[in-house]
């Protein structure tokens, strides 16, 4: 017992003793951790004892999420713990800033997530050279490689056209050229594919999307089985301050408990929605990797097996005005530039993710004013699908 004259509300309280344990991971917002003396702190920094010192360097809520994501991505228990960052972009910048130096060359997909393209542009400012190529085409990818290519950065399916990358070819190319293959698995998730088992060196996620899944968390993840790479990326993330919030990690862990369930439900609805929308007049095209009319259907089958994801892209006749009518005809579905929420969301690439491009650049990628990307959520398909079909009829 603390003597009365040493008690103070300012001083920290002891945690009440308990023989029982919470079943839910506690939230640890503490920025800093105390040790009993300088020797113990020294041992902690040296890695002789497990523990935490300062939240920027790491905290338990991040590590709980990192272990779950390592497991989802198929990493063995003795792989280095994944790195959780404050956003998906923080994960990408930790990888790129940690591993690249002036004069290094990067080959990247020409249809990457918009912000990732801007990050690559920013790296040019620091003397990193970048070649964008169609990574769905082995010849184009091979032609982009140079002797000084250090890293290949790809997403498994492109945004918003859902073209499927030549993953096995890229892995072979990376191996022959001693380049690192970095895969952003955000759209596909480890439920569709585990790229580390197919030759990728590093996996990156925007945990913000399907993994956390409730549009209330902004987080990223980096995973690898290579201890030296993990250490370099971790040091980059910590030094550049890409620290995740404990509360976001806590929410992400809760979201992950239902990831498989949410994914399966959304995928089943997406498949049905794609098939029903494709039958309607006014719908010029439906792009869904699970449909046999998808341009990369065979590759999708080979990489994803029976899986095909929760994203469906449609092109409406009538351009932007038809898109506007469609959006207004589904007032219970958010027109919002994200994906992977429990609720379905709609995105219009021409006015959002791809707005910085010229009309010609968009046309080259197949992104018209009539294109809508649907991120299918976990609503009842019997409600959602008829609503969307009615909206197409109202819009076109
Ligand atoms: C959203 C997204 C990112 C960026 O993630 P944030 O968590 O929003 O920073 C990166 N890559 C892809 C494919 C994404 O969809």
Q: For ligand 1, say whether the CB of 245 is within 6 Å of any of its atoms.
A: no
**What pLDDT is stored for residue 1 in this prediction?**
64
Provide CB contacts within 8 A for 124, sequence distance 6+: 130
Q: For ligand 1, say whether the CB of 89 is within 6 Å of any of its atoms.
A: yes
Q: For ligand 1, say whether the CB of 218 is within 6 Å of any of its atoms.
A: yes
Residue 95's H or E segment, with its range, is helix 88-99
Nearest-angstrom CA–CA distance, 309 and 302: 14
Contact in structure between 224 and 230 (CB atoms under 8 Å):
yes
**What pLDDT is stored for residue 4 in this prediction?**
81
CA–centroid distance for 200 within its chain: 15
Contact in structure between 277 and 314 (CB atoms under 8 Å):
yes
pLDDT in single tens digits along all 396 residues of the chain:
678 888 889 999 888 999 999 999 999 999 999 999 999 999 998 989 999 999 999 999 999 999 999 999 999 999 999 999 999 999 999 999 999 999 999 999 999 998 999 999 999 999 999 999 999 998 999 999 999 999 999 999 999 999 999 999 999 999 999 999 999 999 999 999 999 999 999 999 999 999 999 999 999 999 999 999 999 999 999 999 999 999 999 999 999 999 999 999 999 999 999 999 999 999 999 999 999 999 999 999 999 999 999 999 999 999 999 999 999 999 999 999 999 999 999 999 999 988 888 999 999 889 999 999 999 999 999 999 999 999 999 999
CA of 150 relative to ligand 1 center, distance in Å: 22
Tokens of 246: 């404990």
State which ligand 1 atom lies nearest to the alpha carbon of 209: 1
State which ligand 1 atom lies nearest to the alpha carbon of 207: 7
Q: For ligand 1, say whether the CB of 187 is within 6 Å of any of its atoms.
A: yes
Question: What's the pTM value of the predicted model, to 2 decimals?
Answer: 0.96
State which ligand 1 atom lies nearest to the alpha carbon of 187: 13
**What pLDDT is stored for residue 15 in this prediction?**
86
Nearest-angstrom CA–CA distance, 356 and 253: 35
**What pLDDT is stored for residue 27 in this prediction?**
98
């Amino acid at each position: 017992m603390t003597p009365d004259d040493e008690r103070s509300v300012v001083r920290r309280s002891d945690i009440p003793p308990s023989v029982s344990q919470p079943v839910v991971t506690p939230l640890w917002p503490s920025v800093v951790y105390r040790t009993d003396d300088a020797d113990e702190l020294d041992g902690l920094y040296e890695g002789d004892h497990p523990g935490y010192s300062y939240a920027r360097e790491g905290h338990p809520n991040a590590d709980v999420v990192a272990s779950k994501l390592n497991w989802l991505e198929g990493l063995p228990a003795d792989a280095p713990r994944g790195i959780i960052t404050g956003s998906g972009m923080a994960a990408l910048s930790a990888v790129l800033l940690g591993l690249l130096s002036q004069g290094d060359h990067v080959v990247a997909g020409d249809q990457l997530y918009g912000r990732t393209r801007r990050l690559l542009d920013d790296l040019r400012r620091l003397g990193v050279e970048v070649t964008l190529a169609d990574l769905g085409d082995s010849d184009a990818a091979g032609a982009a490689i140079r002797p000084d290519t250090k890293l290949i950065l790809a997403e498994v399916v492109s945004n918003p056209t859902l073209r499927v990358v030549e993953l096995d070819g890229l892995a072979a190319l990376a191996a022959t050229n001693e380049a690192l293959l970095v895969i952003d698995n955000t759209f596909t998730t480890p439920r569709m594919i585990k790229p580390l088992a197919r030759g990728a060196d590093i996996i990156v996620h925007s945990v913000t999307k399907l993994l956390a899944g409730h549009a209330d968390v902004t987080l990223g993840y980096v995973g690898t089985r290579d201890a030296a790479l993990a250490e370099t990326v971790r040091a980059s993330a910590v030094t550049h301050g890409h620290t995740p919030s404990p509360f976001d990690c806590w929410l992400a862990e809760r979201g992950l408990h239902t990831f498989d369930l949410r994914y399966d439900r959304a995928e089943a609805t997406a498949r049905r929605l794609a098939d029903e929308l494709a039958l309607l007049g006014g719908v010029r095209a439906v792009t869904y990797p699970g449909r046999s009319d998808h341009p990369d259907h065979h590759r999708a089958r080979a990489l994803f097996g029976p899986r095909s994801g929760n994203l469906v892209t449609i092109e409406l006749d009538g351009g932007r005005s038809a898109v506007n009518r469609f959006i207004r005809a589904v007032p219970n579905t958010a027109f919002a530039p994200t994906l992977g929420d429990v609720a379905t969301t709609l995105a219009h690439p021409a006015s959002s993710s791809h707005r910085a491009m010229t009309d010609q650049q968009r046309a080259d990628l197949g992104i018209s004013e009539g294109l809508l990307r649907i991120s299918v959520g976990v609503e009842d398909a019997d409600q959602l699908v008829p609503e969307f079909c009615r909206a197409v009829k109202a819009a076109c």
